[in-house]
Structure 1
Amino acid sequence: MKLYRPHLLKHSLNVANRIRQTASVAGLSALRVAKGEKPDAYLLKETFEQLGTTYIKIGQFIASTPSLFPREYVEAFQGFLDQTTPLPYSYIAQVLREELAVDGLTLEERFADIEEQPLASASIAQVHVARLHNGDEVVLKVQKPGVETIMQTDLGVLHGVTKLLELLMPSMKFASIAPIIDEIRLRMLAETDFIAEAKNIRDFQQFLSVSGNTRVVAPTVYDELTTKRVLTMSRLHGVSMIDERAMRQYCNDPAQVMADTLNTWFASLMLCNSFHADLHAGNLMLLTDGRIGFLDFGIVGKLKAQSWRACMGMMQALQDNNYRAMAQCMIDMEMTKGENHVDVSSLAADLQRMMQTIMAEDIAFTSGVPFNTKEQADELNKMMLEIVEVGKRHGIHFPRDFALLTKQLLYFDRFMRTLAPDMDMFSDHRVAMLGRPDSISE
């Protein structure tokens, strides 16, 4: 037992230091409020930024979930979806040595060259370009030092943070903070296991192979150079899919690229072991050879095919004003604790009353114009909140991964406004919502 005491002592000191740091930052923010500064979204953003990894992830969740959080907070945290401040390479090199300089081989024997300037930096990991001795160009996704200890410690004190969130966000009348924190905790811990992420990539590649999809590609994993804290993959070259001008260098029709992306993702809901749940602007690119690159499989979800069909049925029923069918689809989606516990007629009547109230108040729902503007998108989010509230009264709850699916649809909405503003995801003939592989153009 004595052999483990130095390690335990170091861990305990790290935990104590993290708690002290958290208390210090939170105390300074509280002091600013006491001196008269408004406790708004931007003060909370500054506080989270100073607190680092865990809180940046929470900020990303807020920024990407407008159906749960007020608009001012969603907008304030948008910057968290971009890159974070990188660590000096010396910290990254230490992790690489600990993970890969094993079996008698040095880091120099593993790699011919590693670029010290990072290609990207996120809250949990940093990405560096490297070259193997056989000439292969690869990228190294390296977990930042101390991330796991920091996250575990932070997650242990988040009960106090939920109180702070409730104080600073009184307009969150429909959101229950505790389940959100639980969801974030599960996702964050999963993101620290790069072995699991490597498996997610292989699952997706198998799906592409089985479905005959040659339009989309994911990086190749180098298993012998991959551990829980280091993921080594082939490097893909391309441009961001929110830069239409850059895309036109490698494709003739950005809208068709968007349709192919959507069709691949929808097909993965039905045919893959998991679906990519984090395809924001940094994780999706048009490659220089014209193919579409899906990157970073750290966050994935799982949704039964029956649930996805029911989801699409609910959307169609909503469009048709068929509230009984909408209610039945909510039950079929396994959003309830038991089909026998829900009165379909009563649920349908509540949904109808809700929609009639919304349509009477909001011209966006009666104008016949697709939801392409920010204001109309906000109205759509408001409607989703109302549906959640009605569902709660009938014992209905969304599946855990349904929030991930909804978030990804919102990401796609952002892409479509840039690449295909006239495309309607739910009715365009180029988009197969139920995921037919043959809908992807060759």
Structure 2
Amino acid sequence: MKIHRPNLLKHTFNVANRVRQTVSVAGLSAIRVAKGEKPDAMLLKETFEQLGTTYIKIGQFIASTPSLFPREYVTAFQSCLDQTTPLSYVYIEQVLKEELAIDGKRIDDLFAFIDPEPLASASIAQVHAARLHNGDEVVLKVQKPGVETIMQTDLGVLHGVTKLLEIMMPSMKFASIAPIIDEIRLRMLAETDFIAEAQNIRDFQQFLSVAGNTRVVAPDVYEALTTKRVLTMSRLYGVSMVDESVMRQYCADPAQVMADTLNTWFASLMLCNSFHADLHAGNLMLMTDGRIGFLDFGIVGKLKAESWRACMGMMQAMQDSDYQTMARHMIDMEMTHGGDQVDVVALGNDLQRMMQAIMAEDKSFTSGVPFNSKEQADELNKMMLEIVEVGKRHGIHFPRDFALLTKQMLYFDRFMRTLAPDMDMFSDQRVQMLGQSESELENPTVIDVSQ
């Protein structure tokens, strides 16, 4: 493909400018260290925030992957998970023009209205409400301008920064840094490819169709208005599933809504190409027609069916306070480097001490305290860190997708404490943790929600 000279010059300038910015920020941090400031997690977090998009995403990766990073860094980078400052619509409109205003078309030809005020803003993309000329209400997920060049440049020099990171984080030397960088690269590339996200949505919709599930819905993708940098979807209307009283405007039983949500997600582990791995309060919606909306499929995971069954065995053992069985199921999940080298009794004893300590400290979450997303995230992170600490001592490693699954399970636990405090995920007859049975799949029960 021929590259026009002006575009090549512009790209080269942008790359050079990005490298200059990176060197400048890193240099200022180095000066702070030279003046006696401790090269700790907070300094690294502040440096990453100044470096922008790519490093904020790396910070998010650190914050959400306690299986790879030391506790103090996971804790320090929690603020990177918050929504970012939105960009002016002028910059978003430019991306829309570059992606959609082609073959003589104008943005006004495609959309009757686009709200310049964003519905949400993250490090990579911004979401805006819009309306098509046929009256359809949609949302536009638009990649922020320059993100691709910035990320490619940053990822290209990241290997050169690896040595510096090892000096600043000596406790990371327990793991090879190269696989961590590769994992960061894979995650980032996946999140910036909205065509891949559109496919994740279609996979989920196909799963819902095969299962005969009409209680749950995902937004429809407008293929003609979707590119690698712009994702156009139908707009869903409803309320976030965090307040039982508000939910009762659109449903009679919030606990049943929770059960339907759980059953859908558990079944997707067995029957869908991938599972939604970021189903927090902002990505779940009770719609005004009583259905449940699953939103934002940018982060998905994959897990072998046998690993999921072992996971369920482990969780059931945890529910039964049978920590020796819990330890054996952890080995069955292939979470260890060598199952025959693990002392099952010692692992079980450590798990018991850990869980008893967590339950003793977790009483505030069952005392009627209102749902608080920041509090929730902190507690989930703390629990994951404790699990990881036990695992490390016994040679256990946590594959990326299992970590995603575990954190999602913990999110559900917090949802249930808010919306269905009397529901037991492991024993409630409304919840099917291993998905639908074969007979149910052959003869799915279709629930009509249009009444």
Code of the residue aligned with 2:357 in structure 1: it is A
Cα distance in 2 for partners of 1:110, 1:362 equals 55
The answer to whether 1:352 aligns with 2:345 is: yes
Go from structure 1 to structure 2 and tell me whether the alpha carbon gap of 1:122 and 1:231 turns closer, same or farther (over 3 Å shift).
same
Q: SS at the partner of 2:220? A: coil
Which residue in 2 is equivalent to 1:16? 16
Residue 283 of structure 1 deviates from its aligned partner by: 1.6
The answer to whether 1:79 aligns with 2:72 is: no
Assess if the C-alpha contact under 8 Å between 2:132 and 2:138 holds in 1.
yes
Code of the residue aligned with 1:218 in structure 2: it is A
Assess if the C-alpha contact under 8 Å between 1:113 and 1:131 holds in 2.
yes
Assess if the C-alpha contact under 8 Å between 2:120 and 2:128 holds in 1.
yes
How is 1:265-414 mapped onto 2 (pairs within 5 angstroms)?
265-317=265-317, 319=320, 321=322, 323=324, 326-327=327-328, 329-330=329-330, 332-335=332-335, 343=340, 346-347=341-342, 350-357=343-350, 359=352, 363-364=356-357, 378=382, 381-392=385-396, 398-414=398-414
Cα distance in 2 for partners of 1:224, 1:182 equals 32
What RMSD over aligned residues (CA atoms) do the two structures have, in Å? 3.4
| Further displaced range: 157-166 or 144-153 | 157-166
Which residue in 1 is equivalent to 2:373? none
Which residue in 1 is equivalent to 2:262? 262
Cα distance in 1 for partners of 2:422, 2:67 equals 23
Which residue in 2 is equivalent to 1:113? 113
Output one character per residue of 1:29-51: Cα deviation in whole Å (capped at 9) or x when no partner.
33334444454444333322221
The answer to whether 1:26 aligns with 2:30 is: no
Which residue in 2 is equivalent to 1:181? 181
Go from structure 1 to structure 2 and tell me whether the alpha carbon gap of 1:159 and 1:255 turns closer, same or farther (over 3 Å shift).
farther
Residue 24 of structure 1 deviates from its aligned partner by: 1.5
Code of the residue aligned with 1:386 in structure 2: it is V
Output one character per residue of 1:220-261: Cα deviation in whole Å (capped at 9) or x when no partner.
111111111111110011222234443333334333322222
Residue 311 of structure 1 deviates from its aligned partner by: 2.1
Assess if the C-alpha contact under 8 Å between 1:137 and 1:235 holds in 2.
yes
Go from structure 1 to structure 2 and tell me whether the alpha carbon gap of 1:14 and 1:171 turns closer, same or farther (over 3 Å shift).
same
Residue 111 of structure 1 deviates from its aligned partner by: 0.8
| Further displaced range: 2-11 or 124-133 | 2-11
Output one character per residue of 1:171-219: Cα deviation in whole Å (capped at 9) or x when no partner.
6686654433322210110111111111111110111111121221100
Go from structure 1 to structure 2 and tell me whether the alpha carbon gap of 1:85 and 1:379 turns closer, same or farther (over 3 Å shift).
closer
Go from structure 1 to structure 2 and tell me whether the alpha carbon gap of 1:65 and 1:241 turns closer, same or farther (over 3 Å shift).
farther
Residue 170 of structure 1 deviates from its aligned partner by: 5.4
Q: SS at the partner of 1:401? A: helix
Which residue in 2 is equivalent to 1:43? 43
Cα distance in 2 for partners of 1:410, 1:82 equals 19
Output one character per residue of 1:371-414: Cα deviation in whole Å (capped at 9) or x when no partner.
9587798466423432354245xxxx544422322232233344
Code of the residue aligned with 2:345 in structure 1: it is Q
| Further displaced range: 115-124 or 41-50 | 41-50
Assess if the C-alpha contact under 8 Å between 1:275 and 1:300 holds in 2.
yes
Which residue in 2 is equivalent to 1:246? 246
Go from structure 1 to structure 2 and tell me whether the alpha carbon gap of 1:24 and 1:419 turns closer, same or farther (over 3 Å shift).
farther
Cα distance in 2 for partners of 1:248, 1:68 equals 41
Which residue in 1 is equivalent to 2:152? 152
Cα distance in 2 for partners of 1:243, 1:162 equals 44
Percent of residue pairs bearing the same amino acid type: 75
Q: What runs of 5+ residues in structure 2 fail to find an aligned partner?
A: 367-377
Go from structure 1 to structure 2 and tell me whether the alpha carbon gap of 1:2 and 1:310 turns closer, same or farther (over 3 Å shift).
closer
Code of the residue aligned with 1:351 in structure 2: it is V
Q: SS at the partner of 1:296? A: coil
Cα distance in 2 for partners of 1:53, 1:252 equals 43
Go from structure 1 to structure 2 and tell me whether the alpha carbon gap of 1:83 and 1:207 turns closer, same or farther (over 3 Å shift).
same
Assess if the C-alpha contact under 8 Å between 1:82 and 1:282 holds in 2.
no
Cα distance in 1 for partners of 2:380, 2:88 equals 43
Code of the residue aligned with 2:188 in structure 1: it is M
Cα distance in 2 for partners of 1:107, 1:101 equals 6
Which residue in 2 is equivalent to 1:194? 194
- So what's the TM-score if we normalise by structure 1? 0.84
Q: What runs of 5+ residues in structure 1 fail to find an aligned partner?
A: none
Which residue in 1 is equivalent to 2:371? none
Go from structure 1 to structure 2 and tell me whether the alpha carbon gap of 1:427 and 1:153 turns closer, same or farther (over 3 Å shift).
farther
Assess if the C-alpha contact under 8 Å between 1:260 and 1:440 holds in 2.
no
Which residue in 1 is equivalent to 2:369? none
Go from structure 1 to structure 2 and tell me whether the alpha carbon gap of 1:68 and 1:408 turns closer, same or farther (over 3 Å shift).
farther
